[in-house]
Amino acid sequence: MARGGARWGAGRPAHRLKAEDAISLNVNYLFKNGYLAEGNWTRLRWSQNAKERLSGLVRAHEHHITLDLGLDTHWLLLTHTPCHLGGQRSWFVCPSCKKRSGILYLRNRCFGCRTCQKISYQSQSGDAEDRLVLKYHTLYDKVFSWKSKRAARFKRAYDKFMNVAGQFEELVDRRLRRVAMADRGL
């Protein structure tokens, strides 16, 4: 596997742009807020850390949307697939590979899907320890912030959490022992 971060075998390379940091356009967000209705237009703003990174004007047409970002105008095609229980789901057509995509990312003044833009998720750059820590926190949130605790389902999730929590504690103990030994000069 590729070199991730400063460790060998730690997942995808850490030098790739992460999806969490990229400017993205989500078709489900646009649909839920009514921005895809033909003739509708609105201003979208992308911000990070309470600072506006980018703003643009989105105009909806029958089979595409236009997105004006400063001097650049992007035409993004839309396609639809039928849903199982009726209705339809909207998708973007990636300008590069022509495949359906729910999210397009802006990179180098061009929109494209995650694959075409060579963008990875933050979780893909971690090693086994990073995945264990992420799993611990995910299960912790699931178990301790549940509003409706159904007995059987909750017990399975709780047992799984306790198993991962034990592994997590072992990992922390190993790390603390390693730090203590390094402090002693051993």
Domain coordinates in residue numbering, the chain: 17-122, 127-184
Rg (CA), the chain: 22
- Whether residue 35 is predicted with pLDDT greater than 60 in this model: the reply is yes
Least confident of 45-49, 60-64, 82-86, 156-160: 156-160
Classify 78 in phi/psi space as left (phi over 0), alpha (psi -120 to 50) or beta.
beta
- 93, 25 Cβ separation under 8 angstroms: no
Strand partners, 106: 23, 111
* pLDDT score at 117: 92
Which run of H or E residues covers position 77?
Answer: strand 72-82
Distance CA 186, CA 182 (A): 6
pTM above 0.75, yes or no: no
